[in-house]
A = this chain, B = another copy of it.
Amino acid sequence: MSTNTSMNPAELADVRRHLDVAAIGSELYARVERLYPICRSITGHGVRETLRLIGQEIDLAITEVPSGTQVFDWAVPPEWNIRDGYVKNSSGEKIVDFAASNLHVLNYSIPVHRKITLAELQPHLFSIPDRPDWVPYKTSYYSPNWGFCLTDRQRQALKDDEYEVCIDASLEDGHLTFAECVLPGQSDSEVFFSCHICHPSLCNDNLSGISVAVTLAKLLARTARKYSYRFLFIPGTIGAITWLALNEETTRKITHGLVLSGLGDPGRITYKRSRRANAEIDRVVAHVLQTSGDPHDIQDFSPYGYDERQYCSPGFNLPVGVLSRTPHGRYPEYHTSADNLDLVRPASLTDSLLKALSIVEVVEGNGVYTNRNPKGEPQLGRRGLYSTMGGHGDSRSREEALLWVLNLSDGSHTLLDIAERSQLPFDVIRQVASTLQQHELLSETS
């Protein structure tokens, strides 16, 4: 690796340090606002419209996979598109209306239009008794059904009446749509980010991840890159499975990966390890969070959650963890209408982005070096790298980093190993390694 290669992380660090944090927060939040009204599902025009808007900001390659395509144990389902949906009472009033919120229709609902009694309607209604003012988000992808989601207050007010139910939707052969943004680097090895794009008007659960991914891609597009980067925008589960089925070769190039999701709520940043538990990405994220000084949680892998379920299935076992704030299902607003523009915060989105950037910096900057003067210490003072005045009370922290890098650079320790063992921040270790390289005291191990 040439000398200017080792400058990349510094450039990336520069990008991070010169970010206009307020402007970034506005950008991240405005993107969530823009995407919020769209009615997405696992297939259909909502996904396409979402990708069209994202594609205005970053280069996207769109893939359309025909319904019926076999993808491992699954088949790509029909394409769902919806125009309208409502429940009218006998007075003709729309008491539940898709136009007011796309959450009101059971996502992926089959079409229906008929008049029925309240008793017949009840099994098709979904509400949350504990949260009487929130509309739940419900789906029925693989069991044909229709239904409406409403607040429990609305539901309790329903009278014995004749109701007109209408869902003007279609479920027909079409496509499953996903998009990729690939940023080539010096190496074919890929850092992989995935976020799901199948949830309708939910902010933290899906839009926050999308928004952070888009800004991250924009920033990385501007920097030199050791690794290649792949950002995947896909419907959850079936989308991830479809992508894996079509890209088995590509998966072999993935050396680090993160599912990005739930990154806008005010909770603490949370990392869920990959199935491998101690992959480099797991150690990188743990180091970044631990040295951040911010509250954080690190959780072991479990096979439920987001698309890490698929990426970490035993046939792939990819080194992919999950970066989120409050984990899915652990905040009351999860999968309800309360996961709205009030739940996500510019500051949280920005902090999540900065953490992701720091993670990328460590991934980019990590490497194995060899001390070229391994017998005893080199004479650092002669090179101006060390205080020449010994004795009482010298400040030593940068010198300690120098000594750690020299001591452990025996060809078997990465800079991350050194950062972990010395309990010094990675970027201090990384800077010191660059300095030692410039003084020809350290060489990168090929």
Check A295 for interface membership: any CB of B closer than 8 A.
no
A237: chain B residues within 8 A (beta carbon):
377
Question: By the criterion CB–CB under 8 Å, are A391 and B335 in contact?
Answer: yes
A side interface size, CB within 8 A: 63
Taking A143-B381, A373-B72, A379-B74 as contacts, is the C-beta distance between A312 and B389 under 8 angstroms? no
Q: Is the CB of B137 within 8 A of A407?
A: no
Interface of A (DSSP majority class): loop
**B376 and A141 contacting across the interface, CB-CB below 8 Å:** no
A377-B309 CB under 8 A given contacts A303-B406, A404-B303: yes
Stretch at the interface among A60-68, A240-248, A279-287, A319-327: A240-248
- Residue numbers in B under 8 Å from A310 (CB-CB): 376-377
Per-position binary interface string of chain A over residues 403-440, scored 1 when its CB falls under 8 Å from any chain B CB and 0 otherwise: 11011111000000000001000000000000000000
Q: Is the CB of B409 within 8 A of A73?
A: no
Number of identical protomers: 3
Most B C-beta atoms less than 10 A away, residue of A302, A314, A316, A388: A314
CB pair A136 B391 closer than 8 Å? yes
**Of residues 53 to 93 in A, which have CB atoms within 8 Å of B's CB atoms?**
71-74
- Whether the Cβ atoms of A377 and B314 lie closer than 8 Å is no
Within 8 A of B (CB), among A117-153: 126, 128, 136-143, 145
Given contacts A304-B400, A376-B241, A382-B142, contact A137 B388 (CB under 8 A): no
Mask: chain A, 367-398; 1 = CB below 8 Å from B; 0 = not: 00001011111110110000011111100100
- Contact at B73–A378, with CB atoms within 8 Å? yes
- The residue of chain B having its C-beta at the shortest distance from the C-beta of A309 within the complex is B377
User: Across the interface, do A375 and B138 meet the contact criterion of CB distance under 8 Å?
Assistant: no
Cβ B376 vs Cβ A240 within 8 A: yes
**A275 within 8 A of partner (CB):** yes
Which of B335, B375, B391 is the one whose CB lies under 8 Å from A137? B391
Which residues does chain B contribute within 8 Å of A248, judged by CB atoms? 375
Q: Indicate if the CB atoms of B407 and A128 lie closer than 8 Å.
A: no
The reply to whether the CB of A231 lies closer than 8 angstroms to some CB of chain B is no
CA distance A74 to B374 in the complex (A): 13
A189 to B422, CA, bound (A): 32
Q: Decide if B136 touches A312 in the complex (CB within 8 Å).
A: no
- Residues on B with C-beta less than 8 A from A315 are 371, 373-376
Instruction: Determine if A313 is an interface residue (Cβ-Cβ < 8 Å).
Output: yes
19 more contacts with CB within 8 A, not counting A73-B377, A145-B389, are A73-B373, A74-B376, A136-B393, A138-B391, A140-B389, A142-B379, A142-B381, A143-B388, A240-B376, A248-B375, A303-B406, A304-B399, A304-B400, A309-B407, A310-B377, A312-B407, A313-B371, A313-B376, A336-B392
Q: List 10 A-B pairs, Cβ < 8 Å.
A: A72-B376, A73-B373, A128-B393, A137-B391, A140-B389, A241-B376, A303-B403, A313-B377, A314-B374, A315-B374
- Chain A residues near B (Cβ < 8 Å): 71-74, 126, 128, 136-143, 145, 237, 240-241, 244-245, 248, 275, 302-304, 309-310, 312-317, 334-336, 371, 373-379, 381-382, 388-393, 396, 399-400, 403-404, 406-410, 422
